[in-house]
Amino acid sequence: MLAKTFYGMEGLLAEELKNLGAQEVEQGNRIVHFVGDKGFMYKANLSLRTALKILKPIHTARVTNEHELYNMVYDFDWINYLSTKNSLAIDSVVFGENFTHSLYVSQKTKDAIVDRFRADTGKRPDVNLDHPDVRINVHIDKDICTISLDSSGSSLHHRGYRTATNIAPLNEVLAAGIILLSGWDQTVDFLDPMCGSGTILIEAAMLACNIPANINRKEFAFEKWNDWDEELFYKIEEAQISKIRGLAGTISGFDKAPSAIEKARENIKNANLEEFISIEKNNFLYSEKETDRPLHIVTNPPYGERLEGDMNLFYSEIGDTLKQKYSDTQAWMISANMEALKHVGLRPSRKIKLFNGKLETRLSLFSIYKGTKKIHKLKKEE
């Protein structure tokens, strides 16, 4: 099987898969290949935080033109996976010179499947792009074509808890990945001071409590497959739920917009995490650290894409607030505004390239030490 993810998160996903018990884990570009049985496929969909899709390859062959593609699909024995009573949808991804248009590849694949069923039975399966019974994925890399069944259905970032969103909500898989990349020790207090609709806070709480990422999701595509084993799925779900644990540190957030706080509270309630996350209306620029304990910040400040105002000044004020009011803090910020990031006034100790949708971003770590950095270094040397 293979799991799809975002650029820069392949290592995280490979690690997650190994921890879940996957065999032969191998990283690719935005994908990770692995081996597992049907039960593991259920577990992967339910539990993986950094996966967007779990695909199960069913046929691979060499194709160099549309006729070879059509014949490959037509000659495949679809009866094990589809019937004329099922609806289907086809997603295609193409790389190379032989095929350059993914929609055309999807159309050609659909024609071949429909023609084969019509020839064999006199009937054909329907196409349903929104909510199909079986979703098929076609991946052509130069002249190697792989046909897979999409076991997830809609992307796995649709966790099922988010009904309210802010202006620019962060994708749930991206949020989970950022938290994992930040190396948060889950006993350290966690804060998102510009929390928007609460996605980072929710993903942090689910990670810290070992709650399966997609426990709130309404359905997976494999539930409509011929070999769907409901009893096995619920057995696996129960086993994963039994591993949930309590929270060691605190998780809190604030935002200056009352509408954001309202949305965040609604989403936190949907995720059944009210007892783990505290949230309040507050402007980070006028806030200060509430305890002497170490603090871990992960936040997604505005980039200036949709907001008016001087972003350079705003980022400078973020830096000033961190320096003056947040000693002993590891502050991670993701932003696509490279120019504004330079105005934070702190040298990032780490920078990681990621993408938020099509926007290239940097996940930057700003370390605020207790006292000055010089004193911190001396203590380390002692």
Q: Taking phi first (over 0 means left), then psi (-120 to 50 degrees means alpha), and beta for anything else, what does residue 2 get?
A: beta
User: Residue 321 and residue 287: Cα distance in Å, rounded?
Assistant: 8
10-residue mean pLDDT series, the chain (382 residues): 96 98 94 96 98 96 95 94 92 90 94 95 91 93 94 93 75 97 96 96 97 95 93 97 94 95 95 96 95 96 70 94 96 95 95 93 95 50 48
pLDDT of residue 303: 86
pLDDT of residue 136: 96
Q: Which of 172, 181, 193 is nearest to 295 (CA)?
A: 193
Q: Which fold has domain 172-211+218-381?
A: Rossmann fold (3.40.50)
Q: Where are the beta strands (DSSP E) in 66-125?
A: 87-95
pLDDT of residue 382: 47
The tally of CA atoms less than 13 A away on the side-chain side of residue 276 is: 26
Sorted by where each begins, the domain ranges of the chain are 2-150, 172-211+218-381
Contact (Cβ atoms closer than 8 angstroms) between residue 153 and residue 115:
no
pLDDT > 70: what percent of the chain? 94
User: Residue 305 and residue 124: Cα distance in Å, rounded?
Assistant: 47
pLDDT of residue 304: 78
pLDDT of residue 166: 62
pLDDT of residue 379: 47
pLDDT > 90: what percent of the chain? 85
Correct CATH for 2-150 of 3.40.718.10, 1.10.600.10, 3.30.2130.30, 3.40.50.300: 3.30.2130.30
User: Residue 175 and residue 204: Cα distance in Å, rounded?
Assistant: 9
Q: Which of 138, 124, 160 is nearest to 61 (CA)?
A: 138
pTM of the model: 0.91
pLDDT of residue 372: 54
pLDDT of residue 375: 44
